[in-house]
Amino acid sequence: MKPSDLKIFVLFLLAGATTALSAQNTTKVLPTDLEIPLKYGADRLGKRQDAAMQKFRDSRLGLFIHWGLYAITGGEWEGKIYSGPSSFLQKSAKITPEEWMKLINRWNPTKFNATEWAKMARKMGVRYVKIVTKHHDGFCLWPSKYSEYTVAQAPCKKDILGELVKAFDAVGIDVHLYYSILDWSHPDYRYSIKNREDSVAFGHFLEFAENQVKELASRYPEVKDFWFDGTWDESFKENGWWSVHIERMLKEMIPGVTVNSRLRADDYGKRHFDSNGHLMGDYESGYERRLPDPVKDIDITRHDWEAYMTLPENQWGYHKDWKLSYVKTPIEAIQRIVHATSMGGNMVINFGPRPEGDFRQEELEMAAVVGKWMEKYGECIYGCDYAGLVKQDWGYYTRGKNGTVYMIVFNVPLSGRMTVQVPKGVQIEEATLLHGGGKVDIMETTRNEYNVNVPDKVIREPFVIKLQIRVSKENKDKYMDALT
Ligand code: H76
């Protein structure tokens, strides 16, 4: 394929797809008469195109780490196992914050080794790690000077977060910090503002949260992203100004930093997307334990987004009993990674380390299998994006930066033939296996449609076929329309 053809194909896909792809979205458009004027709405329209954001996008695969006091209890309280998220045990077992925080005395992760964690993540093929610095319970993984509930009060006294930031950074994995605004331990936190007293208290709380966020950004300037959670309460939604202020503050403190949409609320308490429908923050962070529909939700390819998956259903922190719900297999995780990339999003897989500071067998296995697959087939994930082709039953398409289209096959048809529909004027010239490089037979079957043969050799894993595409200027249509 000549470079000029490539360019045309890419342009063709850009124009042909019903969705507006990245290139055209960088200019700030003035609100039209139809838009509501907003003080705390979106700062920008369309995708950010600077190097830091491109790196975020190109990474495609991340690892989430939920590690806190809930790892010690692992879903069990006074001999009873609770099946809900282990990180909500304090709520489900009705434990007071004072009682819960006594667990700090038992925080003694003797097997913790940040370098080992980073090594595992490297092998897994993740390009960034999202670390929970403070979950809803209020326990801080760093020695915060604004809280009495931190690792500094624990027997081991280690700045766990500091060690992790250093270790991940050293192996070239970007560090993202998770911070929950919702805080069950803070006396000034309010779920809603009912009177003046609430308003004053919550004001103090926001000051505390700002101090902590600032503290994180200045202690760990290597950080590339802040991911906020616990922003759904009425009290928070009434303080959209604060979310704008925090995003701007972080962007001043750490050039290039990215911030998730979940931080933000606008003048009317609208979250993620402002009252005019524009995304706030740098990427949408609403796809938690779910994914967009590849056909109905194709509009999502207009903005950056990130999705999150747990291994058992809704277990983020360590839980002793994984038999309580279905546990996803590595192939299912791989399918989610591909699904996200095929729609221009990132996938983050969550691990909940054990209280001793190491990982359970299932997580090690997940890391190993995903890593092996990524090593073989990562070319169709890293740096790849939505391809602009119509989704087919055999799997997903992604598109590389140079216009190469990848077919990632999960469902091998019994017919041995996989359908590929192409836009008008586009031909498939050649198909090859990404791993092993063997040629795959193709045949044009009707107008704008091809069969790609299933390779003879049985492949017992999701495999990838690379398509070489040609765009002809003249539209030689050899198929007649049906007379009906
Ligand atoms: C709901 C909720 C929270 N968001 C996930 C990332 C977990 O931290 C969970 O507690």
Cα–Cα distance for residue pair 306/253, rounded to 1 Å: 23
Q: Where in the chain are all domains bearing CATH 3.20.20.80?
A: 36-380
Is pLDDT of 24 > 90? no
How far is ligand 1, taken at its centre, from the CA of residue 428, in Å?
A: 44
Q: What percent of the chain has pLDDT over 70?
A: 93
Q: What residues flank ligand 1, with Cβ below 6 Å?
A: 87, 229, 288, 308, 316
Residue 35 near residue 276 (C-beta atoms within 8 A):
yes
What is the residue with the minimal CA distance to atom 7 of ligand 1? 316
Cα–Cα distance for residue pair 162/148, rounded to 1 Å: 18
Helix (H/G/I), strand (E/B), else coil: 450: strand
Nearest-atom index, ligand 1, CA of 132: 8
Residue 393 near residue 446 (C-beta atoms within 8 A):
no
Q: What is the average per-residue pLDDT within 326-352?
A: 98
For domain 1-28+384-475, give the CATH number: 2.60.40.1180
Higher pLDDT, 31 or 111: 111
CATH fold group of domain 36-380:
TIM Barrel (3.20.20)
* Predicted confidence (pLDDT) per residue in 207-239, tens digit: 999 999 999 999 999 999 999 999 999 999 999
Give the torsion sign (CA, 20, 338, 286, 142): negative
pTM for the structure as a whole = 0.93
How far is ligand 1, taken at its centre, from the CA of residue 274, in Å?
A: 22
Note the pLDDT of residue 21.
34
How far is ligand 1, taken at its centre, from the CA of residue 466, in Å?
A: 37
Task: Quickly state the pLDDT bin for 472 (edges 50, 70, 90).
Answer: confident
What is the residue with the minimal CA distance to atom 9 of ligand 1? 316
* Predicted confidence (pLDDT) per residue in 91-108, tens digit: 999 999 999 999 999 999
How far is ligand 1, taken at its centre, from the CA of residue 91, in Å?
A: 14
232, 288, 308: residue to mutate for ligand 1 pocket, most atoms within 8 A of CB: 288
* Predicted confidence (pLDDT) per residue in 293-308, tens digit: 999 999 999 999 999 9
Task: Quickly state the pLDDT bin for 27 (edges 50, 70, 90).
Answer: very low
Q: Where in the chain are all domains bearing CATH 2.60.40.1180?
A: 1-28+384-475
How far is ligand 1, taken at its centre, from the CA of residue 107, in Å?
A: 22
Note the pLDDT of residue 482.
83
Phi/psi zone of residue 76: left (φ > 0), alpha (ψ -120 to 50 degrees), beta? beta
Q: What is the average per-residue pLDDT within 185-198?
A: 98
69, 87, 229, 310: residue to mutate for ligand 1 pocket, most atoms within 8 A of CB: 229
Is pLDDT of 273 > 80? yes
Q: What is the mean pLDDT of the chain?
A: 93
Nearest-atom index, ligand 1, CA of 316: 7
Is pLDDT of 20 > 50? no
What is the residue with the minimal CA distance to atom 1 of ligand 1? 230
Nearest-atom index, ligand 1, CA of 180: 8
* Predicted confidence (pLDDT) per residue in 231-270, tens digit: 999 999 999 999 999 999 999 999 999 999 999 999 999 9
How far is ligand 1, taken at its centre, from the CA of residue 289, in Å?
A: 10
Note the pLDDT of residue 34.
87
| Residues forming a β-bridge with 392 | none
How far is ligand 1, taken at its centre, from the CA of residue 229, in Å?
A: 7
Nearest-atom index, ligand 1, CA of 64: 6
Is pLDDT of 474 > 80? no
The DSSP symbol for 105 reads G
Nearest-atom index, ligand 1, CA of 229: 4
Residue carrying the six token digits 């399918």: 335
Is pLDDT of 476 > 70? no
Phi/psi at 293 (nearest 5 deg)?
Answer: -75, 130
What is the residue with the minimal CA distance to atom 4 of ligand 1? 229
How far is ligand 1, taken at its centre, from the CA of residue 316, in Å?
A: 7
Nearest-atom index, ligand 1, CA of 88: 10
List, in order, residues 6 or more apart from 99 with CB less than 8 Å away. Answer: none
Note the pLDDT of residue 32.
66
Starting at the edge strand found earlier in the chain, the sheet holding 442-446 runs: 417-421, 449-453, 442-446
Is pLDDT of 2 > 50? no
Cα–Cα distance for residue pair 385/398, rounded to 1 Å: 6
How far is ligand 1, taken at its centre, from the CA of residue 459, in Å?
A: 37
* Predicted confidence (pLDDT) per residue in 395-448, tens digit: 999 999 999 999 999 999 999 999 999 998 899 999 999 998 899 999 999 999
How far is ligand 1, taken at its centre, from the CA of residue 329, in Å?
A: 21
Note the pLDDT of residue 477.
67
Nearest-atom index, ligand 1, CA of 87: 10
Q: What is the average per-residue pLDDT within 102-118?
A: 98
